[in-house]
């Protein structure tokens, strides 16, 4: 088949990889430069440990408290917007213990499949992306967070995801090159990390060498339809006939879905990251600083800090207060790492496509049988990229999918 993929982030590129491997002719359409997408500045964490969806009990109350602080890790920009109101109502409906219980095995299996595929990619030699399996530390400083993480560790262990509860000294023992001031932490030894920018660039080079056409600065303006099928993608350069389409446009996927008559609940969750050059070896294990909701990831010889979830539509402007919140939190955990407020122009920002129930949208549309959606991964796009790409390829090829896709049905809120 001739397949057009709308979106050149990690989901679109992984879909292209597995579709090309299956023998299809693939063109990737990206609206801007490939190196400016959400996948590039990601924390780079591969997290089978993240089995609890964003929509969970207590998250709404916690989010309301965070919204009162300008430097807090979570913020929803108040605005009278029907799509935002609908998204918020659906989030509220899914923030239940029952939803969490249903979601845990689903997210676990999707994440474990993705990790296995990353391991295969690293061993294949086709793509180079700085793969490391050192685990993930969830660091905390308060008794409240300690209690929360003890419950989460118990949940993970019961789900078959190994979690080890560490005291402060045990955390320090695992980080011999820098001081860590915490009450304790939970180590998820099965997690991994990679260099997201290197992954995207290496994938593009490999795909182009295999004959995949990857078009930058080429937004798809219109999906041309005939008898319930998309037959061509119209760009400023002309029409591109297709046999099938993958919509993997991240936070902008809802705009494409609207052309297909689907009102897709999706909000862009803005996050920021910045790099400290030459600080990478000081931190050995990627970490999430729990109270601050900020992350630290070694990237080669450098150290990347990332954080915040700012629901503000598709506004890509940098909010200095949110960046300042990340900066101020770092030395509470790593007191010896010199951190200063970065220049705003050096701060990376990107929009994570967030569904209201915390589960991605992956699957074929009933209304347009040759269209597959692959979006809504929230903060786990990099982590779930290969699994999503493989599921997309299996769906379009008509083979048995590696996982049951019913729970990811993109029309589940229609």
Condensed to tens digits (0 to 9), the pLDDT of residues 358-388 reads 999 999 999 999 999 999 999 999 999 999 9
The set of residues, in sequence order, having a beta carbon less than 8 Å from that of 95 and lying 6+ positions away, is 55, 56, 57, 58, 59, 60
Characterize the bridge pairing of strands 244-247 and 371-375. parallel
- State yes or no: pLDDT of 62 exceeds 80: no
- State yes or no: pLDDT of 145 exceeds 80: yes
As a 3-state breakdown, the chain gives helix, strand, coil percent values, each rounded to 5, of 35, 25, 40
| Sheet of 244-247, strand order | 213-215, 25-29, 2-6, 244-247, 371-375, 361-364
pLDDT computed for residue 93 by the predictor: 92
**Average pLDDT of the residues in 403-411:** 97
Report the C-alpha gap between 292 and 69 in whole angstroms.
Answer: 12
Give, for 109, the enclosing helix (H) or strand (E): helix 97-124
Q: How confident is the model at residue 296 (pLDDT cuts 50, 70, 90)?
A: very high
**Average pLDDT of the residues in 81-87:** 91
User: Among all chains, which residue has been given the structure tokens 């932490």?
Assistant: 185
pLDDT computed for residue 77 by the predictor: 73
> Average pLDDT of the chain?
92
Fold of the 2-408 domain:
FAD/NAD(P)-binding domain (3.50.50)
Q: Which residues of 204-220 are buried (b: 16+ CB within 10 A; e: fewer)?
A: bebbeeeebebbeebeb
Report the C-alpha gap between 136 and 387 in whole angstroms.
Answer: 20
Q: How confident is the model at residue 408 (pLDDT cuts 50, 70, 90)?
A: very high
pLDDT computed for residue 64 by the predictor: 59
- State yes or no: pLDDT of 157 exceeds 90: yes
* 2 in Cβ contact with 241 (< 8 Å): yes
Report the C-alpha gap between 177 and 366 in whole angstroms.
Answer: 54
The predicted model scores a pTM of 0.94
Report the C-alpha gap between 414 and 407 in whole angstroms.
Answer: 14
Q: How confident is the model at residue 116 (pLDDT cuts 50, 70, 90)?
A: very high
- State yes or no: pLDDT of 136 exceeds 80: yes
* 129 in Cβ contact with 194 (< 8 Å): yes
Q: Where are the domains of the chain?
A: 2-408
The distance in angstroms from the start CA to the end CA of the chain is 29
pLDDT computed for residue 40 by the predictor: 75
Choice among 32-36, 256-260, 364-368 with the minimum mean pLDDT:
32-36
Q: Is the dihedral of CA 206, 209, 211, 217 positive or negative?
A: positive
More confident residue, 312 or 401: 401
Q: How confident is the model at residue 83 (pLDDT cuts 50, 70, 90)?
A: very high
**Average pLDDT of the residues in 122-142:** 96
Give the CA count within 13 Å in the CB-facing half-sphere of 10.
33
- State yes or no: pLDDT of 15 exceeds 90: yes
- State yes or no: pLDDT of 59 exceeds 80: no
Which tokens in the block code for residue 127? 């793509």
- State yes or no: pLDDT of 191 exceeds 90: yes
- State yes or no: pLDDT of 299 exceeds 70: yes
45-54 pLDDT, tens digit each: 999 999 998 8
Report the C-alpha gap between 195 and 125 in whole angstroms.
Answer: 15
Report the C-alpha gap between 381 and 388 in whole angstroms.
Answer: 9
**Average pLDDT of the residues in 192-204:** 95
Characterize the bridge pairing of strands 287-289 and 348-354. unpaired
pLDDT computed for residue 309 by the predictor: 84
């Amino acid at each position: 088949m001739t397949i057009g993929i709308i979106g050149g982030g990690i989901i679109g590129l992984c879909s292209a990889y597995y579709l090309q491997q299956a023998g299809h002719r693939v063109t990737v359409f990206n609206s801007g430069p490939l190196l400016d997408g959400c996948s590039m500045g990601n924390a780079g964490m591969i997290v089978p440990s993240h089995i609890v969806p964003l929509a969970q009990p207590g998250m709404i109350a916690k989010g309301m408290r965070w919204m009162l602080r300008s430097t807090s890790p979570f913020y929803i920009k108040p605005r009278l917007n029907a799509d935002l109101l609908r998204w918020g109502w659906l989030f509220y409906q899914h923030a239940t213990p029952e939803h969490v219980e249903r979601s845990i095995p689903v997210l676990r299996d999707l994440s474990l499949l993705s990790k296995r595929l990353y391991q295969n990619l690293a061993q294949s030699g086709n793509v180079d992306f700085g793969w490391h399996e050192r685990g993930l530390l969830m660091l905390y400083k308060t008794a409240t967070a300690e209690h929360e993480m003890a419950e989460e560790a118990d949940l993970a262990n019961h789900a078959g995801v190994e979690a080890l509860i560490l005291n402060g000294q045990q955390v320090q023992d695992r980080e011999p090159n820098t001081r860590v001031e915490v009450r304790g932490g939970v180590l998820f030894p099965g997690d991994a990390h990679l260099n997201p920018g290197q992954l995207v660039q290496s994938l593009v080079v490999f795909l182009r060498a295999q004959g995949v056409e990857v078009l930058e600065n080429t937004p798809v303006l219109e999906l041309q339809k005939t008898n319930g099928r998309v037959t061509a993608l119209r760009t400023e350069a002309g029409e591109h006939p297709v046999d099938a389409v993958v919509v993997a446009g991240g936070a902008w996927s809802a705009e494409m879905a609207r052309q297909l008559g689907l009102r897709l609940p999706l909000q862009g969750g803005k996050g920021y990251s910045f790099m400290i050059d030459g600080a990478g070896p000081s931190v050995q294990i990627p970490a999430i600083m729990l109270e601050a909701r900020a992350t630290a990831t070694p990237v080669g010889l450098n150290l990347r800090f990332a954080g915040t979830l700012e629901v503000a539509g598709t506004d890509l402007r940098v909010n200095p207060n949110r960046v300042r919140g990340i900066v101020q939190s770092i030395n509470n955990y790593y007191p010896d790492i010199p951190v200063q407020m970065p220049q705003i122009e050096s701060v990376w920002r990107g929009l994570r496509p967030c569904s209201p129930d915390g589960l991605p949208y992956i699957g074929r549309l009933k209304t347009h049988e040759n269209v597959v959606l692959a979006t809504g991964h929230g903060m786990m796009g990099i982590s779930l990229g290969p699994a999503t790409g493989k599921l997309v390829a299996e769906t379009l090829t008509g083979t048995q999918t590696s996982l049951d896709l019913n729970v990811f049905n993109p029309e589940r809120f229609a």
